[in-house]
């Protein structure tokens, strides 16, 4: 049976529960996923390629074909995009500046990212941004913006201020909001005596970073919390309470990373609470396996719960959906495709639910019907709708994309 014929049958089945599949696909088309550049090169960047990855995060694996130049990273990402339906954003870190100058993080300017803007315009992409507060000698103490050393702290404050200007430049040039996300690995390996002072320093340093008024229509500041990193197991300055409190009190966006909480906590349940108190939210959709392992996003229960949380709550307009994983043990281009397609698939599945009807059932106290129907809808043919969407958007249907990526691996990646 053709994808089209199958779609007509699925469309009728969804129509019977009051869901208009064509309208859902129009909504899905509007979703821009912020796809992280760092899956393409194991977070090496281009400014200091000899610096080791620090900050308590780790990329494992040695799959051949890592992107080592700006041109290679763009080429790989374009290949991934050819297998992903929709129009999306590329999420850059400061270390991905494209320049021949020897420039340090506290010297970066928008012009060092001009070629990224040209490329994004040419490809119709949006750009997001992150200061890189790791993999640098000034972060070797384990502290950056909350360091007790004035020189260290000022270095990172300056880097963050400049990052914000780069975010604003992206937003203005591309005519769409750039989310600039601040994540700091600062913390102690062992049990601290003073748990307040580093947080106080981080708070005042951030106030300095954000002191210049900036239009959130172009640059939206987000702050990302974490429970712990490797080497900072006992204490993380930018904890959940710190970052959420900061975001709420300073009118910033909060960034929820799926891997940054205790293993039994889920961000799907945090989304509706955070959005009661912040205007906007950034997600780092990731897959923690026992710890913040940053596995490629799989089509698992929590991914579906995140998508349901966003769709059922009507939060898509206020949420910036970013990805954050880095797996060097498999083809990196395939990793982008797998993770992003899974995220879109989960959003589609959530959108294909008769949300209003389910909310009414819940409100009436009919929990039997709630469970019966949500369980039944799980096996509705969303995969057929997804295939139709891929066909409509001109990207490979089903696993056909894998042949494309394999060919790319043979002709391009394996030659590096």
Ligand X SMILES: C[C@H](O)[C@H](O)[C@@H](O)C(=O)CO
Q: How far apart are the first and last CA of the chain?
A: 41
Q: Which of residues 170 and 182 has its CB atom nearest to Mn ion in the complex?
A: 182
136: annotated active-site residue = no
Query: H/E/C letters for each residue in 236-252?
Result: ECCCHHHHHHHHHHHCC
The 8-class DSSP code of residue 287 comes to: B
Q: Is 57 in the site for ligand X (CB under 6 A)?
A: yes
292: annotated active-site residue = yes
Q: Is 43 in the site for ligand X (CB under 6 A)?
A: yes
183: annotated active-site residue = yes
Residue the block writes with tokens 């940053």: 294
String of contacts with ligand X for each residue 185-224, x by CB under 6 A = ---------------------------------------x
Give the CA dihedral 138, 193, 243, 301, nearest 10 degrees.
100
Query: Among Mn ion, ligand X, none, what does residue 38 contact (CB within 5–8 Å per kind)?
Result: ligand X
Q: Rounded distance, CA 208 to CA 299, Å?
A: 41
324: annotated active-site residue = yes
Catalytic residue among 324, 387, 404, 409: 324
Q: Is there a contact between 18 and 354 (Cβ–Cβ < 8 Å)? A: yes
Q: How far is the CB of 285 from ligand X (least distance, A)?
A: 11
Can you say how many angstroms the Cα of residue 408 is from the centroid of all Cα atoms in its chain?
A: 25
Residue 274 backbone class (left: φ over 0; alpha: ψ -120 to 50; beta: rest): alpha
**E strands of 23-141, at which residues?**
33-36, 89-93, 126-130
401: annotated active-site residue = no
| Packing angle of the helix pair 240-250, 197-209 (nearest 10 deg) | 40
Q: How far is the CB of 43 from ligand X (least distance, A)?
A: 5
Catalytic residue among 226, 252, 320, 345: 226
String of contacts with ligand X for each residue 322-341, x by CB under 6 A = --x-----------------
Closest residue to ligand X, judged by C-beta, is: 183
* Catalytic (active-site) positions: 183, 224, 226, 257, 260, 284, 292, 294, 324
Q: Which residues bind Mn ion (CB under 5 A)?
A: 257, 284, 324
Q: Which residues bind ligand X (CB under 6 A)?
A: 38, 43, 57, 130, 183, 224, 226, 257, 284, 292, 324
Bind-site residues for Mn(2+): 260, 292, 294
């Amino acid at each position: 049976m053709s994808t089209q014929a199958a779609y007509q049958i699925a469309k009728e089945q969804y129509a019977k529960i009051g869901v208009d599949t064509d309208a859902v696909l129009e909504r899905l088309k509007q979703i821009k996923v912020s796809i992280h550049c760092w899956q393409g090169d194991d977070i090496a960047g281009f400014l200091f390629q000899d610096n080791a990855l620090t900050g308590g995060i780790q990329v494992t694996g040695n799959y051949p074909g890592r992107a080592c130049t700006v041109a290679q990273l763009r080429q790989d990402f374009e290949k991934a995009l050819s297998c992903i339906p929709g129009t999306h954003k590329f999420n850059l870190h400061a270390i991905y500046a494209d320049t021949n100058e020897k420039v340090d993080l506290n010297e970066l300017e928008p012009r060092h990212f001009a070629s990224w803007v040209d490329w994004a315009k040419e490809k119709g992409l949006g750009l997001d941004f992150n200061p890189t507060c790791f993999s640098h000698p000034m972060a070797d103490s384990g502290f950056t913006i909350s360091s007790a050393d004035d020189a260290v702290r000022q270095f990172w404050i300056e880097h963050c201020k400049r990052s914000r200007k780069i975010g604003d430049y992206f937003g203005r040039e591309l005519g769409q909001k750039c989310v600039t996300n601040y994540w700091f690995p600062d913390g102690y390996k062992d049990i601290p005596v003073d748990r307040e002072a580093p947080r106080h320093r981080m708070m005042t340093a951030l106030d300095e970073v954000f002191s210049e008024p900036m239009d959130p229509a172009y640059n939206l500041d987000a702050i990302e919390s974490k429970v712990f990193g490797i080497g900072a197991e006992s204490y993380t300055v930018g904890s959940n309470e710190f970052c959420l409190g900061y975001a709420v009190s300073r009118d910033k966006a909060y960034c929820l990373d799926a891997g940054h909480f205790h293993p039994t906590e889920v961000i799907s349940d945090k989304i509706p609470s955070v959005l009661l108190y912040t205007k906007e939210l950034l997600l780092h959709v990731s897959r923690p396996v026992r710890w913040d392992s940053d596995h490629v996003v799989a089509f698992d229960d929590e991914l579906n719960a995140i998508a349901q949380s966003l769709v059922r709550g009507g939060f898509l307009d206020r949420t910036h959906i970013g990805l954050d994983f880095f797996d060097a043990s498999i083809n990196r281009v395939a990793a982008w495709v797998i993770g992003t397609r899974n995220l879109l698939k989960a959003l589609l599945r959530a959108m294909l639910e008769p949300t209003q009807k389910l909310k009414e059932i819940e409100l009436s106290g009919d929990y039997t019907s709630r469970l019966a129907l949500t369980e039944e809808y799980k096996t509705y043919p969303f995969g057929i709708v997804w295939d139709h969407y891929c066909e409509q958007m001109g990207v490979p249907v089903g696993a056909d994309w894998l042949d494309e990526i394999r060919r790319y691996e043979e002709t391009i990646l394996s030659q590096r």
